[in-house]
Chains A and B, each alone.
With several copies, the nearest count.
Chain A
Amino acid sequence: MQIGLDAEQRAFAQSSGALAADLAAGWDRGRGPHDVASPEPSEKDWARIVDAGWTALRLREENGGLGAGTVDVAVLVEQLGRHSVAAPVLGTLVAAEQLQALGAPVATLEAVAAGELRVAPLLDARLLGFAPSADDALAWDSAGATLAYAPDGSAHALGEPLPATDVTRSVRRPAGRVGDASLELRPPTDDDRDRLHAFTLTLLVADLLGTMAAALDAAVEHARSRTQFGKPIGSFQAVQQIAAEDLVSVEATRSALYFSAWAVDALPATEALRAARTAKAFASRAGVAVCQDVVQLFGGIGMTWESPVHVWLRRAQTDRTSFGDEHAHQAVLADLDLTER
């Protein structure tokens, strides 16, 4: 039993955190909803992302990737969440994993790993999971992506970003088949499908964890410095009670992420998926609850566009809904656990 990050993982967290912070610093939230910059990274930023190995991180070595374990990918994604990175790294990782699970050709995966082919995953209209086809599908975290593949191998160009809650990631609709880009794909085995699902849910948990931890840290910092009635508001018990429960939620989410990320590569696929659903259900509820508390802890200033507080809440709500919120997963778990077999 060795639970937690090893030295190498901690170093990776630090280096990817530094790059994530730098990317985030270059993004302009603007002065209001009509003034916000696109989450599409500049060519230069995309090159830095590719150079850092993020697009290749998880793909197997035979597919031009680095073959990282899910724990390592989760380490990266937590940093994306922590800094609210406005670049489709998560979408790329998920799309790449799906393509690999569907047996996409090596050349395609190599192009994704090298950042030359920019892809996004297609989700069903309710964002509950991967879309069975391009009809009514949504290309998720797809800023700057040029193609999205349906499970039948058809390639689809993407339309304009849709109005969305999250200001740091885009959702677009498929906008026409690109005939010459289509691929031969095969249906995944049950195991591959479950493991892909578990992997994806785990990354969303990681993004939620990073987001809620960043929000709580900022709220604590605010509570230390903001004074009312001649004292820092963080010295008031009412504030401390809220912040403490939030830390409990953050730490429990971290434990859930660790287990879920470990399970993707270590446990049988159905058990891994079950763990990931559990983690996603917990993190979806906890993540939004913490970000809501952070709104409260920041007071009025946190409700302004200028404050990062709404960016966290937007990202948390989007992570929560994407690939199923707590209710969706609890419903599945209820069926698994409470139905006579």
Chain B
Amino acid sequence: MDFSDSPEVARFRAGLRAWLAEHLAEYADGVSYDSAEGVEATHRWHRALAAAGYVAVSLDPEYGGRGLSDLYEAVINEELAAAAAPPPPPIGHIAHAVADFASADLKGRVLPGLLGCTESWCQGFSEPGAGSDLAGLSTSATATDDGFVVNGQKIWTSWAMWADRCLLLCRTEPDQPRHRGLSMLVVDMDTPGITRREITLANGSREFAEVFFDDVRVPAANLVGERGQGWKIAQHMLTYERGPADMGWTGRLGNVLAAAQEAVRSGHLPADDVLRRRLAAVAVDAQVLSWHVARSLVDRSSADPGSSGSVDKLLTTRVEQELYSVVDDLTGAAVVVGDQRPFNEYLWSRAQSIYGGTQQIQRQIVAQRLLGLPRG
């Protein structure tokens, strides 16, 4: 049992810290998805990180990664959070899907742009009629002589407004049952027939969009893996998306917690004994979450990563929702009148039990796959 960094990890961490100390100020300013300038700043930041070798480090070197374990991805997330830097580009799961399933040709065409962050990607999975029930999606890709014609609608597509390419899960085999009929395509977002519509969230966030496909032609060479392999690839990706390494939340929650603790310590937010105790209680949970995430990362190869990702997500959601609830109560009236950032963060925390598979679905996955309870 050893929770401390190995010498290699310690070296990697030190290198990243040094890089951040030198370059963060230069790139981090204005990073957001709320304006054209913010998006440009975001892309600049991602390209700088990529150039420094801190993007998709767990990918094989032949694809542009560094062949490091998932642990290093976690270190990157941790250190960026600790430095209050913007997050890294959330492309690990896309990169793994392409690297593990796409043809050599396709990899050659898209991985450099993806990993170099010179091209921006989105992931077209959810649909208005297929959220939790992803296998029920209906966007069709009808095979033609030289490729596919895509029709349908995606929703909750993060960063679609500014994406150059989309990894699209769609139905190519309408005569096959649910999961079996799906395939994965790489779609250039400037292909004629694609329309995007921004979704504004309740907290003002403009990260998401709807994407409409109207007779969109996609070349056969842009198929990832085989026809009918879409579900398998999506599951592979969700593994990475739900896992703690790609989440990078723990460190950011830690920052929010530390800021609240400092505000109480300094008297900036006055807190009675009850609030102090609630803050201490959620600090306990957050600490245990970070230990748990460390253990999950190391365990990852040995467990069923998809399901233990669900455990981690459920635990993270618990901590996050309680943390923002305590922070808002600490902030008091200033939450409902004044700067709306705390309230918007609270709203966002409420969404954490919905996105990436609702809490109810995550629990069902845990109950059936890890506990072996029978399907209903």
Contact = CB atoms under 8 A, between A and B. Distances in A.
Chain A in direct contact with chain B (Cβ < 8 angstroms): yes
Contacts of B266: 340
B284 A278 contact: yes
Nearest to B319: A252
CB-CB nearest 5 A-B residue pairs = A310-B202, A240-B367, A244-B363, A334-B280, A255-B292
Contact of B375 (A235, A238, A321): A235
Interface stretch (A101-109, A186-194, A257-265): A257-265
B3 to A, nearest CB: 6
A252 B281 contact: no
A185 interface: no
B336 A321 contact: yes
A281 B280 CA distance: 10
B204 A32 contact: yes
A228 B131 contact: yes
A331 B204 contact: no
Contacts of B340: 33, 163-165
B80 interface: no
Given A3-B1, A31-B200, A321-B335, A282 B279 contact: no
Interface of B: 1-6, 9, 71, 126, 129-133, 136, 155-156, 199-204, 206, 261, 264-267, 271-272, 274-277, 279-281, 283-285, 287-289, 291-292, 294-296, 298-299, 308, 311, 314-315, 318, 328-329, 332-333, 335-340, 343, 347, 350-351, 353-355, 358-360, 362-368, 370-376
15 contacts: A1-B294, A1-B298, A3-B295, A31-B200, A34-B204, A163-B338, A234-B367, A244-B366, A248-B318, A255-B291, A258-B1, A296-B353, A300-B351, A304-B202, A305-B202
Contacts of A266: 2-4
Contact of A171 (B283, B295, B308, B337): B337
Given A1-B9, A232-B374, A326 B281 contact: yes
A64 B265 CA distance: 48
Q: How large is the interface on A (under 10, 10 to 19, 20 to 34, 35 or more residues)?
A: 35 or more
What is the interface of chain B mostly: helix, strand, loop, or mixed?
A: helix
Contact of B264 (A261, A299, A338): A338
B198 to A, nearest CB: 9
Nearest to A162: B337
Given A228-B133, A304-B202, A3 B336 contact: no
A331 B71 contact: no
Contacts of B271: 338
A292 interface: yes
A127 interface: yes
Given A3-B295, A317-B343, A164 B373 contact: no
Contact of B3 (A3, A125, A279, A300): A3
B364 A244 contact: yes
Interface string A307-318: 101100110011
Contact of B370 (A247, A261, A317): A247
A230 B318 CA distance: 29
